[in-house]
Structure 1
Amino acid sequence: MDSLALPSRVAVAGDWHGSRVWVQSVLASIRRADAEVRDVLHVGDFGLWPADTYLDAVDYWAERTGLRLWVTPGNHDDWDQLEAPFGRGDVARVSEWVTFLPRGFRFTVGDRTAVSFGGAASHDRAWRRTQRSKHPIWWPQEIATDAEVAAAVGGGSADLLVTHDVPTTVLPAVAAVLDRRNGEDAPEDAAYVHASARQIDAVRAAVRPLLHVHGHTHVHEIGDVDTDHGPVRTLALTNERRHGNIAFLDADTLDVRTLTKEELRLAW
């Protein structure tokens, strides 16, 4: 895919973690709430796992609703599947309706420029690396390389930044989650998380977005975050089965409207 140009009205979605029940409900909810929207920007922890049939369920409901999904991968998505296309600088089309975007991928939403920068540090990495499972639950590729950060920084500014991970300066509700996690996890993992957040700092400082959308901490909040280059309007999206997982974005105005609990009623 040489370029990606999306319409000015899109949906944005937080973490889904492979929930088939949520996919069935939430895609129908998006279609019911705004029949004009055809694209969903997903901020990661989508549910791309080895040898899993989740994508079949996603494709079934995506076809029924006519919604395409463009995913900025999270730390809990299968980076082994993404490594080959991302290594070539390509997007990863993992199914008929679902495409994952590599770090630093630039595209447009209406007349707005946008950057996708996926991955995050698992705050419980020490636990995840010791678990026995039929498939990996931790991937070393979950955090960016220095080269990936440099390439994203070198691309310059854009109107919209989509990440899974969060920077070091965040909204209050996000900060509360990070403080709690930092107190619960191994010291080496706290340092690991901070290093990943510093990478997002660097990308955000270079992109200077008018709007930054992210997931990862499973809370919903929207507001301005103070940075060295001024306030950045930020939308944090929560995880599946919770209000604040889905919003509509009008790129022309950068207005954001979160779907209400009533609009998501079939998912509860």
Structure 2
Amino acid sequence: MLVTPGNHEDWNWLDGEFQRHPGRPVALSSVVEVLPRGYRFEVGSRSFASFGGAASVDFELRSEGIDWFSGEMPTEQDVVHAVADGHVDVLLTHETIDGGTPASETVLRSNPMRWSLEALNYSSRSRALVTRVWEGVSPELLFHGHMHVADEITLPSGQQVISLGRDGQARNLALLELSSLAWQWLEGPPKAPRVRRTRDWETQFMTRPECEENDD
């Protein structure tokens, strides 16, 4: 299993491992490996690139070094490295891109959780970097997570962007047929996730205990 890391990983540990083994995946077990940013590989003659990390828009509610790590944000050097070898067939990211699926764009426009301007700017910087990778490798398909919404779009260029749902949400898995790059959702009954995660976008804002202080 090859893992494109997200934003709530222990990036202090991951970055240390990536530095000790430059350009190589980090083994978590005999069958699970975490991919460094810009890592390329082939499956069935199809080329893939992985570009992990994303901005935790809820970082103000977390503690740095405990459940939030600044290394989640890609760097300019990461972007340059990722696009250096040009086109791939499939790009795997955690962060979304600017101009992605309608559901993701709706979340970004509406800010349903009323995140602060600083948090929104932090998220915007992350998306801008990942968008540059998307433009630089020009894939036929982009699969990403992070937004807690499942959706898809085919752009005028013919490229497709697929937003995967979160753990426990319908449409959090997809099956890709490599010879044609045709894909389909793997449907399944939702189940309660067993990990801490960013609050769902659809959750009522008024359930946040700090909402009265921040509500103008």
Alignment TM-score, normalising by the size of structure 1: 0.67
Q: Does 1:169 align with 2:103?
A: no
CA contact (8 A) 1:163 1:214 kept: yes
1:1-268 equivalences in 2 (<5 Å): 69-87=1-19, 88-129=22-63, 136-181=66-111, 184-225=114-155, 230-261=157-188, 264=189, 267=191
Alignment TM-score, normalising by the size of structure 2: 0.82
Matching residue's letter, 1:162: L
The structure with higher relative contact order (CA 8 Å, sep 6+) is: 1
Shift of 1:182: 7.2
Query: Identity rate of aligned residues, in percent?
Result: 34
What is the distance in 1 between the residues matched to 2:164 and 2:133?
A: 19
Cα RMSD over matched residues?
Answer: 1.9
The residue aligned with 2:199 is: none
Q: Comparing both structures, which one devotes a greater share of its residues to strand?
A: 1
- Compared with structure 1, are the counterparts of its residues 200 and 225 closer, same or farther at alpha carbon in structure 2 (3 Å cutoff)? farther
Shift of 1:235: 1.1
Shift of 1:114: 0.7
The residue aligned with 1:34 is: none
Per-residue CA deviations over 1:132-175 (Å, capped at 9, x if unaligned) read xxx71110100111111111121211100000001111111111
CA contact (8 A) 1:71 1:100 kept: yes
Q: Comparing both structures, which one devotes a greater share of its residues to helix?
A: 1
What is the distance in 2 between the residues matched to 1:136 and 1:231?
A: 42
What is the distance in 2 between the residues matched to 1:223 and 1:249?
A: 16
Unaligned runs of at least 5 residues, structure 2 = 193-216
Matching residue's letter, 1:194: S
**Alignment length, in residue pairs?**
190
What is the distance in 2 between the residues matched to 1:168 and 1:90?
A: 29
The runs of at least 4 aligned residues of structure 1 exceeding 6 Å deviation read: none
CA contact (8 A) 2:102 2:153 kept: no
- Compared with structure 1, are the counterparts of its residues 258 and 236 closer, same or farther at alpha carbon in structure 2 (3 Å cutoff)? same
What is the distance in 2 between the residues matched to 1:225 and 1:121?
A: 25
Matching residue's letter, 1:257: Q
Unaligned runs of at least 5 residues, structure 1 = 1-68
Shift of 1:225: 3.5
What is the distance in 2 between the residues matched to 1:158 and 1:218?
A: 26
CA contact (8 A) 1:178 1:217 kept: no
Per-residue CA deviations over 1:200-226 (Å, capped at 9, x if unaligned) read 111001110000000000111122135
CA contact (8 A) 1:72 1:117 kept: yes
CA contact (8 A) 2:41 2:48 kept: yes
What is the distance in 1 between the residues matched to 2:95 and 2:27?
A: 22
CA contact (8 A) 2:79 2:132 kept: yes
